[in-house]
């Protein structure tokens, strides 16, 4: 029984002094997709596929002074997966409130072994196949340390992922722009987490999205 998380990486600066303005880069690119997204792929092949969608943009953003780099939802692996075919792309993401982990210095520490039920919600029941698969947004410091993890609660619908047992209200702090809240795409139209974050005083949101305009109420212009 395993806990999986797919990730949408946010790189948050670590040691920069406070500034009157901050620089945020949004990763936009011509996505290289998996030609057979419903066919399971081995882990190494999945990593190689995601690497093609990373290239050198992160380094270029840093060279231009970006203090946060936001990757789009599904921007590393693509679309149209089913529950079994996306497994090669997934990995365990621990709760940074319970464990300090730097995936850059300890890449092999977690190998998808957290059992059901969730350690963060012991009363939760397991999915029928014995594993949780979440659409997940993470934030890492510039040195790689994991500082925040958010599981998307409002799916649209996404057959490869599970809805978490409870909505999460997740924030992280930066030395250059204060506090940020995390949410993903369709979350933006729901009270939790979006309004709940605002009610907590959060005024800056990290909002990775793979948006499809659906008139009349779900046009992206209304939310961006």
The domains of the chain, with CATH numbers, are: 2-166 (3.60.110.10)
Catalytic residue among 91, 114, 140, 185: 185
Give the rounded percent of residues in the chain with a pLDDT score beyond 70. 86
The answer to whether residue 187 scores a pLDDT higher than 80 is yes
In whole angstroms, what is the distance from residue 111 CA to residue 97 CA? 19
Q: Is 4 helix (H, G, I), strand (E, B) or coil?
A: strand
From 2, 152, 158, 168, the catalytic residue: 152
Cα 71–chain centre separation: 8
Catalytic residue among 73, 91, 114, 158: 73
State yes or no: pLDDT of 149 exceeds 80. yes
The per-residue pLDDT for 10 is 53
Instruction: Tell me how crowded residue 204 is: count the other CB atoms within 10 A of its CB.
Output: 16
Q: Catalytic: 192?
A: no
Closest by Cα among 90, 132, 165 to 1: 132
Express the helix, strand and coil content of the chain in percent, nearest 5 each.
15, 20, 60
**According to the model, what pLDDT value does residue 11 have?**
54
Examine the residue annotation and report whether 152 is marked as an active-site residue of this protein. yes
Average pLDDT over residues 72-77: 91
Whether residue 200 is preceded by a cis peptide bond, meaning omega within 30 degrees of 0, is no
**Entry pTM:** 0.86
For the chain, the distance separating the N- and C-terminal CA atoms, rounded to the nearest angstrom, is 38
Q: Is 52 designated active site?
A: no
The pLDDT-based confidence of 121 (bands split at 50, 70, 90) is confident
Burial of 11 (0-12, 13-18, 19+ CB in 10 A): buried
Return the higher-pLDDT residue of 53 and 57: 53
Task: Tell me what the mean pLDDT of segment 154-176 comes to.
Answer: 93
Residues 6+ apart with CB under 8 A from 188: 194, 207, 209, 223
Give the closest residue to 6 by CA, choosing from 193, 186, 138, 172.
Answer: 138
pLDDT bucket at 2, cuts 50 / 70 / 90: very low
């Amino acid at each position: 029984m395993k806990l999986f998380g797919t990730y949408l990486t946010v790189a948050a600066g670590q040691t920069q002094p406070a500034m009157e303005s901050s620089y945020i880069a949004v990763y936009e690119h011509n996505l290289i997709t998996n030609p057979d997204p419903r066919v399971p792929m081995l882990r190494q092949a999945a990593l190689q596929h995601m690497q093609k969608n990373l290239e050198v943009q992160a380094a270029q953003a840093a060279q231009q002074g970006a203090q946060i780099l936001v990757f789009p939802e599904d921007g590393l692996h693509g679309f149209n997966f089913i529950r079994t075919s996306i497994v090669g792309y997934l990995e365990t993401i621990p709760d940074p409130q319970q464990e300090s982990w730097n995936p850059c210095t300890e890449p092999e520490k977690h190998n998808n072994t957290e059992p059901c039920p969730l350690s963060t919600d012991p009363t939760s029941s397991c999915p029928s196949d014995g594993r949780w698969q979440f659409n997940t947004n993470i934030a890492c410091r510039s040195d790689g340390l994991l500082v925040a993890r958010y599981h998307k609660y409002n799916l649209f619908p996404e057959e490869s992922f599970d809805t978490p047992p409870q909505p999460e209200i997740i924030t992280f702090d930066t030395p250059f722009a204060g506090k940020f809240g995390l949410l993903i795409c369709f979350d933006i139209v729901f009270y939790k987490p979006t309004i709940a974050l605002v009610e907590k005083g959060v005024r800056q949101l990290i909002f990775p999205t793979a948006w499809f305009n659906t008139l009349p109420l779900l046009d992206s212009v209304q939310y961006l």
